[in-house]
Amino acid sequence: MSIWRTQPTPELLESLSRGTFAERIGIRITEVGPDYLRATMPVTPEVHQPYGVLHGGVSVALAETVGSVAANLCVDRERLECFGQEINANHLRSISSGLLTATARPYHIGARTHVWGIEIRDERDKLVCVSRLTMAIVQRRQSA
Protein backbone atom coordinates (compact mmCIF):
# COMPACT_ATOMS: atom_id res chain seq x y z
CA MET A 1 0.00 0.00 0.00
CA SER A 2 1.31 3.45 -0.93
CA ILE A 3 1.96 6.13 1.69
CA TRP A 4 1.64 8.99 -0.81
CA ARG A 5 -1.33 11.34 -0.55
CA THR A 6 -0.15 13.32 -3.59
CA GLN A 7 0.66 11.01 -6.49
CA PRO A 8 4.16 12.09 -7.49
CA THR A 9 4.72 12.36 -11.22
CA PRO A 10 8.16 12.98 -12.75
CA GLU A 11 6.95 16.43 -13.87
CA LEU A 12 5.78 17.37 -10.35
CA LEU A 13 9.02 16.18 -8.78
CA GLU A 14 11.15 18.05 -11.30
CA SER A 15 9.14 21.25 -10.84
CA LEU A 16 9.66 21.21 -7.05
CA SER A 17 13.40 21.83 -7.42
CA ARG A 18 13.35 24.33 -10.26
CA GLY A 19 15.40 27.39 -9.27
CA THR A 20 16.32 26.02 -5.82
CA PHE A 21 19.49 25.06 -3.97
CA ALA A 22 18.65 21.40 -4.67
CA GLU A 23 18.73 22.05 -8.40
CA ARG A 24 21.95 24.06 -8.06
CA ILE A 25 23.83 21.15 -6.45
CA GLY A 26 22.31 18.56 -8.79
CA ILE A 27 19.77 16.75 -6.58
CA ARG A 28 17.24 14.85 -8.69
CA ILE A 29 14.33 12.73 -7.43
CA THR A 30 14.75 9.50 -9.37
CA GLU A 31 12.42 6.90 -7.91
CA VAL A 32 9.15 6.69 -6.02
CA GLY A 33 8.36 3.40 -4.33
CA PRO A 34 5.27 2.50 -2.31
CA ASP A 35 6.99 3.62 0.94
CA TYR A 36 10.19 5.37 -0.10
CA LEU A 37 11.52 8.25 -2.17
CA ARG A 38 14.95 8.14 -3.81
CA ALA A 39 17.17 10.94 -5.12
CA THR A 40 20.64 11.20 -6.62
CA MET A 41 23.33 13.86 -6.48
CA PRO A 42 26.73 14.01 -8.19
CA VAL A 43 29.80 14.61 -6.05
CA THR A 44 31.88 17.30 -7.76
CA PRO A 45 34.50 19.75 -6.50
CA GLU A 46 31.73 22.35 -6.02
CA VAL A 47 30.37 20.32 -3.08
CA HIS A 48 33.76 19.49 -1.50
CA GLN A 49 35.04 20.80 1.78
CA PRO A 50 38.57 22.27 1.78
CA TYR A 51 40.22 18.82 2.01
CA GLY A 52 38.81 17.53 -1.28
CA VAL A 53 35.95 15.33 -0.06
CA LEU A 54 32.19 15.79 0.13
CA HIS A 55 31.19 18.48 2.62
CA GLY A 56 29.13 17.01 5.47
CA GLY A 57 26.64 19.86 5.20
CA VAL A 58 25.92 18.83 1.62
CA SER A 59 25.07 15.31 2.79
CA VAL A 60 22.66 16.87 5.28
CA ALA A 61 21.17 19.06 2.52
CA LEU A 62 20.62 15.97 0.37
CA ALA A 63 19.00 14.11 3.28
CA GLU A 64 16.74 17.03 4.19
CA THR A 65 15.72 17.58 0.58
CA VAL A 66 14.61 14.02 -0.08
CA GLY A 67 12.97 13.72 3.37
CA SER A 68 11.15 17.05 3.04
CA VAL A 69 9.80 16.23 -0.40
CA ALA A 70 8.67 12.83 0.87
CA ALA A 71 6.91 14.30 3.91
CA ASN A 72 5.08 16.89 1.83
CA LEU A 73 3.84 14.16 -0.52
CA CYS A 74 2.22 12.43 2.48
CA VAL A 75 -0.05 15.29 3.57
CA ASP A 76 -3.03 17.20 2.19
CA ARG A 77 -1.12 20.13 0.67
CA GLU A 78 -4.31 22.19 0.41
CA ARG A 79 -4.42 22.37 4.24
CA LEU A 80 -0.99 21.36 5.52
CA GLU A 81 2.71 21.90 4.92
CA CYS A 82 5.81 20.26 6.36
CA PHE A 83 8.97 21.93 7.65
CA GLY A 84 12.20 20.44 8.92
CA GLN A 85 12.31 20.62 12.70
CA GLU A 86 15.42 18.60 13.51
CA ILE A 87 17.99 16.65 11.54
CA ASN A 88 21.04 14.67 12.53
CA ALA A 89 23.58 12.82 10.46
CA ASN A 90 26.35 10.32 10.92
CA HIS A 91 29.03 10.61 8.24
CA LEU A 92 30.41 7.10 7.76
CA ARG A 93 32.61 7.25 4.68
CA SER A 94 34.27 10.05 2.72
CA ILE A 95 33.79 10.38 -1.01
CA SER A 96 35.36 12.77 -3.52
CA SER A 97 33.57 11.85 -6.77
CA GLY A 98 30.76 9.76 -8.15
CA LEU A 99 27.01 9.65 -7.71
CA LEU A 100 25.24 9.50 -4.35
CA THR A 101 21.83 7.91 -3.89
CA ALA A 102 19.65 8.96 -0.95
CA THR A 103 16.64 6.89 0.09
CA ALA A 104 14.05 8.29 2.53
CA ARG A 105 11.70 5.94 4.39
CA PRO A 106 9.32 6.90 7.19
CA TYR A 107 9.73 5.71 10.75
CA HIS A 108 6.58 7.59 11.76
CA ILE A 109 3.90 9.48 9.84
CA GLY A 110 1.71 11.29 12.35
CA ALA A 111 -0.73 14.16 12.30
CA ARG A 112 1.76 16.69 13.76
CA THR A 113 5.16 15.15 13.07
CA HIS A 114 6.90 12.78 10.71
CA VAL A 115 10.21 11.05 11.38
CA TRP A 116 12.16 9.92 8.33
CA GLY A 117 15.30 7.81 8.02
CA ILE A 118 17.56 8.63 5.10
CA GLU A 119 20.42 6.45 3.89
CA ILE A 120 22.97 7.94 1.50
CA ARG A 121 25.01 5.42 -0.48
CA ASP A 122 27.78 5.63 -3.06
CA GLU A 123 27.90 3.90 -6.45
CA ARG A 124 29.20 0.69 -4.84
CA ASP A 125 26.17 0.69 -2.48
CA LYS A 126 28.39 1.55 0.50
CA LEU A 127 26.84 3.73 3.21
CA VAL A 128 28.24 7.26 3.16
CA CYS A 129 25.80 8.86 5.62
CA VAL A 130 22.74 7.98 7.68
CA SER A 131 20.36 10.69 8.79
CA ARG A 132 17.17 11.08 10.80
CA LEU A 133 14.84 13.96 9.95
CA THR A 134 11.91 15.17 12.06
CA MET A 135 9.32 17.19 10.17
CA ALA A 136 6.75 19.51 11.77
CA ILE A 137 3.30 19.32 10.13
CA VAL A 138 1.50 22.68 10.33
CA GLN A 139 -1.59 24.36 8.94
CA ARG A 140 -0.91 25.99 5.59
CA ARG A 141 -0.58 29.77 5.89
CA GLN A 142 -3.09 31.83 3.96
CA SER A 143 -1.64 33.94 1.15
CA ALA A 144 -1.91 37.69 1.61
* Active-site annotation holder among 31, 64, 86, 119: 64
CB distance 110 to 125 below 8 Å: no
DSSP assignment letter at 124: T
End-to-end Cα distance, the chain:
38
**CA 119 to CA 104: how far, in whole Å?**
7
64 assigned to active site: yes
Known catalytic residues are: 64
